[in-house]
Chains A and B, each alone.
Chain A
Amino acid sequence: MAANKKTKLGFGLLMLLKSLAVSKGRVLVAIASIMVGATVVTALTSLYFDVSEKMSHELRAYGANFFLGPSDQANPPHIAEADYQAVLSSIDADRLTGASPFLYGIVKLKLGDAVLAGVNFKGLQKIYPNWQLEGSWINVDFDDRNAMIGRTLADTMELDVGSSFDLIGRDSGKQITLRVKGIIETGEAQDNQILVNLPVARALLDRPDTIDLAMLSIVTTGKGAEDLATKINQAHPQLEAKPIRKIAQSDGKILDKIQGFMALVAGIILIITSLCVNAILSAMVVERNREIGLQKALGADDGAIIKQFVTETLLIALIGVMLGLVLGFGVAQILGQTVFNAWVSVRFIVIPLTLGVSLIAAMIAAIIPIRRAVRILPALVLKGE
C-alpha cells in the first residue's frame, strides 16, 4: 500500500513538474509576483516589529519624555541627589538615552534678576540635540568658568558668545564671573535662563545635596513609560515620576500611524499579488483546457483536479515565498539603514507570518481558476474536429 502510494505520488509529481515546465514562462511570472509580495511583507513585517524600538530612539531627539520631581510628601520640595542616582541606576542603561538634573535658583545680574539652572550638559545634549545653538556646548562636568545662556536673556543683557558677565547668588551672596560659551534658542523657558554645570549652581545656591527636578529621555514602547513611572513612584514615595504626556502621546500616535501605513501597504501589495497570480493561473487553465478535459475523461474527479492545481499553486507560492523571505530581509536591512541608521533584527515570527499570509493570498488567487478547471466539460473540449 505504501509502495502504491509512493508510485502514485511519484507519477503525480512527475506530471506536476512537467506541466509546470511547459508553462515555465507563466510559472516564473507567478513566482516573481509572489516573491515581490512576500518581499514587501517580509520587509514591512520585520520593520513593523522593530519600528517601535527604532522610532522610539529616533523620537528621543524631540526632547525628554520623562519627568522626575519631588512628590507632595517631600519637604522641602527637593529631590535628594541619592534618590536621583538611585532612579538612574534602576533604569536599563540601553534604554536611558539621556538625563539631566535641574537645580534652579535666582541670581542677580547687572540688569536685574535671572534664573540660574544647574544641569548636566552631557545629558542635556542627548535630551535636546535639536536646540539651536550659537557657540558651543559645555562638554566637561568640571567646567566652572563657562555658562550657556538663553537667547532672550542674552539679547536683553547684550551678551554674545565669548562675553563675560558677573552674577551673584541672591540668597548666598556668592559672586562668580562666567564666560558665555554658547547661546541657546529652545522656544522654552531655557531661553530666559543661565545654564551652568551642576557643581557651579550648587556652590552659588548653597544646595549641596539636592536638585529640583530631572528630565529624562527613555526608549520605551507601548505602556513602558507608565509602567516605569509606577515602579519609581512605588519605590520612592518622596518622588513623583511621570511620562511627559505630550511627547509620549506623540510617540504613540506616530508609531500607530507608521504601523498602520505599513500594514496598509502590505495589504495592497498582497491584493495586487493575488490579482496577478489569479490572472496567470486563469491563463494556465485556459491553456490546459484540453489536458484537463482529457484527465477528466480518463477518470480524474473534481478532487483530483483541485488537488493538482492546489499543489501547483502551493509549489509556485512556496518558491516565491522562500525567495521573498531572503529578499525581504535584505530590503528590511536597507530600509533600516536608510531610515533608522540601524540594522533590523531578523525575527523568526516573520517567517511563518509571511509564509501564511502569502500562501493565503496565493490560494485565494487560485480559487477562481480552480473552479474554472473543475467546470471544464470533457465532452465539450475534446470534441473532434
Chain B
Amino acid sequence: MDQMSDTTPATASAGHFAVQEDHVIKTEGLSKHFNTVKALDQIDISISKGEFVSIMGPSGSGKTTLLNILSCLDVPTAGRYLLDGTNVSDMSEADRAVVRREKIGLVFQQFHLIPYLSALENVMLAQHYHSIADAGEAQAILESVGLGGRASHLPSQLSGGEQQRVCVARALVNEPAIIFADEPTGNLDEENEALIIDLFKRLNKDGRTIALVTHNPEIGAMADRTIRLRHGHLES
C-alpha cells in the first residue's frame, strides 16, 4: 500500500499532471495494447466527484477495456491513472486488490451473484473482503434498493431486476469513491431497466460518482456527460 500514499490528491508529482481537488478519476495517455492491437490509445479523461458519466461506443471500441482499467481489474500498457488522488497505474495486483475493496463498487451485466449465498450474504461478501461482514448494514443497504424483504432469497429465487439490485447493493455497501457499471441493464427487460436506471439516478442525486458503460443511447443520455470511444480513441 505504499504506492497509495505516494501521491497527494491535490497535485500529482508531474507538473503537467495537476489534478483538481474534486476529480475522482484522471487519466493521461492511458493505453492498452494486446500484442499489436491497440484496444485503447492515449486516453485522457477525468471524472469529477459526484458526476454521472456514461461511456459509450460501438462494439470493440474499448469501453470494457477502459472500464476494466478504471476499476483496477486490469492495468494499462502505458499512461497514468489517478484514482481518488492515488496513482494506481503501476500498482501490484495485491495493492490493486486493496484499491478495489476500498474505493470501487462494481456492477456487472451478468450480476455475478454467488448462487449458494442469499441476497444478504452476497452483499456481506463485499463487506467480508473490505472489513467485517455486518448483517445489519447489509440489510439496510438491501432495504435502500427495495429488497429488504428478499434478503434471505437465493439469486435463483430473484428476478433479473432484483438480482441486479442486489449487485448494486453489494457495490454500495462499502461506501466506495466511485461505482463502475458495465452494461447494467443489458440483461434486463424494459421495466427492470427503468428501475435500475432510476436507482442509479437516485444514487447520483445522493452524491455518488458513477461511470456506466452502455450501448443504449437513451441510458447514455441520462448521464451528466458521455465519454465516447471509437477504435480505442476518444471521439472528439
Question: Which residues in A have some Cβ–Cβ distance to B below 8 Å?
Answer: 4, 7-8, 10-12, 14-15, 18-19, 21-22, 290-291, 293-302, 304, 377-379, 382-385
Q: B100 is contacted by which of A12, A298, A302, A304 (Cβ under 8 Å)?
A: A298
The yes or no answer to B193 lying at the interface (CB within 8 A) is no
Task: Encode contact with A along B56-77: 1 for CB under 8 Å, 0 otherwise.
Answer: 0000000010001001011000
A292 to B112, CA, bound (A): 11
- In the complex the two chains form, is B97's CB within 8 Å of A296's CB? yes
Q: Which residues of B contact A4 (CB under 8 A)?
A: 131-132
Nearest CB on A from B172, distance (A): 13
Which residues in chain B, 90-116, are within 8 Å of chain A measured between CB atoms? 93-94, 97-98, 100-102, 106, 108-110, 112, 114-116
- In the complex the two chains form, is A379's CB within 8 Å of B73's CB? yes
- In the complex the two chains form, is B125's CB within 8 Å of A15's CB? yes
- In the complex the two chains form, is A298's CB within 8 Å of B125's CB? yes
Q: A382-B108, A385-B110 are in contact. Are A15 and B129 (CB under 8 A)?
A: no
* B170, closest chain A residue (CB): A298
- In the complex the two chains form, is B106's CB within 8 Å of A291's CB? no
The yes or no answer to B12 lying at the interface (CB within 8 A) is no
- In the complex the two chains form, is B97's CB within 8 Å of A301's CB? yes
| 9 CB < 8 A contacts A-B | A7-B134, A11-B133, A18-B117, A22-B116, A296-B97, A298-B129, A301-B98, A382-B110, A384-B64
A266 to B124, CA, bound (A): 44
A18 to B114, CA, bound (A): 10
- In the complex the two chains form, is A299's CB within 8 Å of B108's CB? no
* A20, closest chain B residue (CB): B116
- In the complex the two chains form, is A384's CB within 8 Å of B101's CB? no
**What is the interface size of chain B, counting residues whose CB is below 8 A from a CB of the partner?**
36
Q: Which residues of B contact A10 (CB under 8 A)?
A: 133
Q: Which residues of B contact A295 (CB under 8 A)?
A: 125, 129
Question: Which residues in B have some Cβ–Cβ distance to A below 8 Å?
Answer: 64, 68, 71, 73-74, 93-94, 97-98, 100-102, 106, 108-110, 112, 114-117, 121, 124-126, 128-134, 170, 182-183, 186
A379 to B74, CA, bound (A): 7
Nearest CB on B from A81, distance (A): 83
- In the complex the two chains form, is A384's CB within 8 Å of B129's CB? no
Q: Which residues of A contact B121 (CB under 8 A)?
A: 11, 14
- In the complex the two chains form, is A297's CB within 8 Å of B73's CB? yes
A291 to B115, CA, bound (A): 9
- In the complex the two chains form, is A290's CB within 8 Å of B116's CB? no
- In the complex the two chains form, is A379's CB within 8 Å of B68's CB? yes
A194 to B159, CA, bound (A): 101
A291 to B116, CA, bound (A): 11
Q: Which residues of B contact A299 (CB under 8 A)?
A: 97-98, 100-102, 126, 129-130
Nearest CB on A from B179, distance (A): 13
Instruction: Kindly list 16 other residue pairs between chains A and B, CB separation below 8 angstroms, not including A11-B121, A293-B112.
Output: A7-B133, A8-B128, A8-B132, A11-B133, A15-B125, A21-B116, A294-B112, A297-B112, A299-B126, A300-B129, A301-B98, A302-B93, A302-B94, A304-B129, A382-B108, A385-B109
Nearest CB on A from B123, distance (A): 11
Q: Which residues of A contact B134 (CB under 8 A)?
A: 7
* B68, closest chain A residue (CB): A379
Q: A7-B134, A384-B182 are in contact. Are A298 and B98 (CB under 8 A)?
A: no
Nearest CB on B from A288, distance (A): 9
A179 to B183, CA, bound (A): 110
* A381, closest chain B residue (CB): B112
- In the complex the two chains form, is A11's CB within 8 Å of B128's CB? yes
Q: Which 10 A-B pairs have the closest CB atoms?
A: A299-B101, A384-B109, A11-B133, A379-B73, A301-B97, A299-B129, A379-B68, A299-B100, A379-B74, A4-B132
Q: Which residues of B contact A290 (CB under 8 A)?
A: 112
Q: Which residues of A contact B101 (CB under 8 A)?
A: 298-300
- In the complex the two chains form, is A298's CB within 8 Å of B109's CB? no
Q: Which residues of B contact A301 (CB under 8 A)?
A: 93-94, 97-98
- In the complex the two chains form, is A19's CB within 8 Å of B132's CB? no
